[in-house]
Structure 1
């Protein structure tokens, strides 16, 4: 009876194909390529079944007269049926799987040996009857994998389409077993949903085997999927950002610390931190993506407004943090107990904070220093990340500079109740930052005075040598030549000292960009060119300095300056159009000009 049923199914299939052909339709046999069994006795080769199946699917699908079931569809069915460890070479198993994915034929096989010779057994199974239509084997060396696989493809196609004379050019091209094994590991990572790891794995395969076209195509597909996933995540995070930002704003408008107990007060501080991070994240959107992160051309009004709004929140944060500690610090038996330092939110809000990567939220007992660092140095916190925005608010508004320095002085003065170890830590952090901020603004002597103050207060500190070296660096005699040259660049420029200018140029470029904005790239080169452009020693290096300035401008989003410098002075310094084209193609493609439309 089962044989009669199988015969009937086979007859119906044949009649169906004949009817479609009579109607003039194209009849395409539907083929499923199953995973080849690993009979080598080496479990490490189990993953090869996926890569080999992917190769077979790719090359069979190139035959327009055959419809091939995608490997991903097969994987989905195997996951549902929990057939990962089954032997697919068994005709009954092949028949069951083929029926599940709507195939008429199944390609099954097994890897019988890898070393010293490669042997692959194959079968072509008719799904309706379970009949084996083709059973053969191929053998050869490991490095002949592609040739052997192409023999298999040819035999399968000939069995399905005996009248087909010409086969399409193969696209898989795996050079050897080891490469296919690496590729298979990448495909397996994709099936596990580990796209980032898969991308790294396949990138390595492509690098080692550039002609392996299938690996290259799969890598490009994964990069596309990663990009789409990142875009979806960005949309989700944007929605969460807005939700948290608006909720923080409403909470802070409705509540004041004066009417809250300790637990409620910690919640208010948490929402204040969220609001500050929300504004910092918004500011980040107006900065150039490459270091140093400069406000992009045309974004100055938005960036300034966000810095000012952040500043308002930061002022409130300093006041509230100070009041919170004063109100809720307790003393018992001469011991001070600080208030609750955990930031308390509802479980739902905590989950939103986690998803939006704002956390972990924590009480900042050095709020004055944290705020001063943002105002003076442009350093902000965005969840667990920190980023620098230039120019800082103090670079744009002189009154803010005074406020930042005042906060640091207050932080130093308000350390009398701390333990000696905590006092040293806080004083060092405040005075070190104070000196850095002064150096950033070119006020070297005042910076040295702040660092020396720390050395005088804590002559036995473990940080003594570190701070002492900062003073030496400011004077140009520190342990790092690059930092020395940056600190003394102004003096080197006065005398057109070639070595000093060349060593300190990029350091000075970064400092000026962070304090003056994207226009500083052009200004610095023009200043060097004007002062020292005719210097015999420096003249041959001007083109290199100009390129640094042009690239810095481009990375800051100022493509207009890039083109101005490169099409005028660069060419005058014997640069070429081909060099400019190379920079645009390889380093700053965002500055490519659109080709005029054809008439």
Structure 2
């Protein structure tokens, strides 16, 4: 088990150093120089669904991913990418359910090198959508910030904006006016307004994680029609489509190889 953990950690460290690698966060941006004392490493975990409606189970993953992408625009925040975080959770055999408590989350944060972790929940959808979050310092286990936002479920963009600003206030980093402008621009570029659109996007992320690339691309195509200006959706769609094409290519090559092998065996048998 220790060897497996070390392998995962090495892969995560390698991935964190490859800033030019395409990801669901969007096109790579040049990393500005930021003194270590002013920066923070942050991991946003999937939000729990506490609404009692299982339709919203996938939404927690999508919300965490959208927030990670938004916050990645702030130069003083180093965000752990969703695929790296999910790889660690999967490798450790953990499931983000109601039993995924703060202590377990802190262990994940420690393994992945995060200074702070963001834990959240979808607490209600009717009559208004309510999101509850808290920022926890990994070293001290102290909750340094809590935030609750409520609003119409079709004003998801507004809820995300308010939540991101509130969470940053709980992390001890330098937040300049320029950084706030970058955050606002990133949020606008990733914009998804309707909860139902975000649910479909979240379902596509889950399918992608399961290796169902073609189905994920089909879902993302639908999302792209509903949020055509979202850079986040566009990047995710392109990645899923390319992965699906590679998967299809391997399948076709495998069928051809099997056919040729069967023909060769048949000829030799004669």
- Coarse TM-score class (shorter-chain normalised): 0.7 to 0.9
Determine whether 1:131 maps to 2:162: no
Partner secondary structure for residue 128 of structure 1: coil
SS at match of 1:143: coil
Q: What secondary structure sits across from 2:192 in the alignment?
A: coil
Aligned to 1:65: 76
Kept in 2, the 8 Å contact 1:105–1:127? The answer is: yes
Give yes or no for contact 1:94–1:125 (8 Å, CA) kept in 2: no
SS in 2 for 1:193: coil
TM-score (norm 2): 0.76
Question: SS state of the match for residue 106, structure 1?
Answer: strand
| Aligned residue number for residue 176 of structure 2 | 164
Structure 1 residues 399-454: Cα deviation after superposition (integer angstroms, max 9, x where no partner): xxxxxxxxxxxxxxxxxxxxxxxxxxxxxxxxxxxxxxxxxxxxxxxxxxxxxxxx
TM-superposition CA deviations, 1:448-476 (whole Å, max 9, x none) = xxxxxxxxxxxxxxxxxxxxxxxxxxxxx
Partner of residue 39 from structure 1, selected from 19, 43, 50:
50
Shift of 1:151: 1.5
**Secondary structure at the counterpart of residue 133 of structure 2:** strand
The match for 2:209 is 191
Contact 2:200 2:223 in 1 (8 A): yes
Contact 1:55–1:172 (CA<8 Å) still a contact in 2? yes
Greater Rg over alpha carbons, structure: 1
Matches within 5 A, 1:109-508: 109-160=120-171, 161-166=173-178, 167=180, 168=182, 169=185, 170=187, 171-237=189-255, 239-249=257-267, 251=268, 268=270
Native 8 Å contact 2:146 2:167 kept in 1? no
Could you tell me how far 1:71 is from its partner in structure 2? 1.1
Please give the alpha-carbon distance, in whole angstroms, between the structure 1 residues aligned to 2:92 and 2:163: 28
2: CA distance between counterparts of 1:70 and 1:234? Answer: 32
Looking at structure 1, the residues matched to 99 and 136 of structure 2 have their Cα atoms a distance apart, in angstroms, of 11
The change in CA–CA distance for 1:63 and 1:184 in structure 2 (over 3 A counts) is same
Counterpart in the other structure of 2:113: 102
What's 1:26 paired with? Answer: 35
Cα offset for 1:35?
0.8
More helix per residue: 1
**TM superposition shift of 1:245:** 4.3
Report Cα offsets for 1:191-248 as digits up to 9, x if no partner. 2221121111111111233233322221111011112223344454554455444444
Greater RCO (CA < 8 Å, at least 6 residues apart): 2
Post-superposition CA distance 1:365-414 (Å, at most 9, x none): xxxxxxxxxxxxxxxxxxxxxxxxxxxxxxxxxxxxxxxxxxxxxxxxxx
Residue among 78, 89, 98 paired with 1:87: 98
**What number of residue pairs does the alignment pair up?**
229
Report which of the two has the higher share of strand. 2
CA gap 1:194/1:204 in 2 versus in 1, 3 angstroms: same
Segments of structure 1 that go 5 or more residues without pairing to the other structure are: 1-23, 252-266, 269-599
Q: CA shift at 1:95, angstroms?
A: 0.8
Distance (whole Å) between structure 2 residues aligned to residue 152 and residue 70 of structure 1: 19
Partner SS state of residue 147, structure 2: strand
User: Displacement of 1:49 after TM fit?
Assistant: 0.6
1:51–1:180 CA contact under 8 A, matched in 2: yes
- Equivalent in the alignment of 1:556: none
Q: Give the distance between the partners of 1:232 and 1:153, measured in 2 at CA.
A: 41
Q: Secondary structure, in 3 states, of the residue corresponding to 1:159?
A: coil
Whether the 8 Å CA contact 2:34–2:75 is kept in 1: the answer is no
